[in-house]
Amino acid sequence: MESREAGVERLYPKIWGRMSARYYYLIQLRKQLERVIELFVKNSPHQLLADYGCGNKPYEPLFGPFVEQYIGLDLAINTKADVVVDPKGIIEMPDESVGFVLSTQVLEHVEDPTSYLKEACRILQKDGKLILSTHGYWMFHPDPTDFWRWTSAGLQKIVKEAGFEIVYFEGILSRSSMGLQLFQDGLLFKFPKSIRPLWSMLLQPFIIFFDKIAGNKSRREDACTFILVAKKL
């Protein structure tokens, strides 16, 4: 929700700082989103984007310059939301009213992913696109809940069944690098806060190295996070 770290911290993390444990991961996530913007958003006729589960809108600086309007959708407790999503997941917006739905690290937190995706499909215009990222492997992180993890095949299946055609699919952090990320996180919170950035600095170079030697094909099959673009049918 609103407690999510600010956009500048997620987009441009520092190796020594609050987000040091996510340093490489967040950079790769930003780069993937920038690639999606270049391929699907920058020159699109669709100019209304809805950030579905927006928190404090950390990705608005990336997408905002390329759309006419960027609106946040979230539960009523989020005062930064422009449009309310009711507790049952219904968005207070008409059918086919937006060109893009952005969903970043939200799907694992919703109680009913199928309904969430179908609601995204409902508000999208014809040929509108869902831009979604969610976890394959990741530590438990309730915000306020944390229910789901996906295989690449399972995520594609649930998105297709909600009325979409997947046109782009990539993974972030390979199996070996994510194993190191989990090892880092497994010990991270046992250390005093003053030591945690140092521990992260020791592990992040190894995470980077093992990710660099992995192939793109393996990341599409087995990754810490998957990012996809899906067109409404």
The beta-strand segments (E) located in the chain are 48-52, 69-74, 83-84, 98-104, 124-135, 164-172, 225-232
* Amino acid making up residue 127: D
- Is the separation of the CB atoms in 218 and 173 below 8 Å? no
What pLDDT does residue 6 have? 56
For residue 133, the model assigns a pLDDT of 98
What is the value of pTM for the model shown? 0.94
Q: E strand or H helix at 166, and its extent?
A: strand 164-172
Pairwise pLDDT comparison (64 vs 18), residue with the higher score? 64
- Mean pLDDT across the chain, nearest whole number? 94
Mean pLDDT of 93-108: 97
Does residue 1 register a pLDDT over 90? no
Is the Cβ–Cβ distance between 181 and 206 less than 8 Å?
no
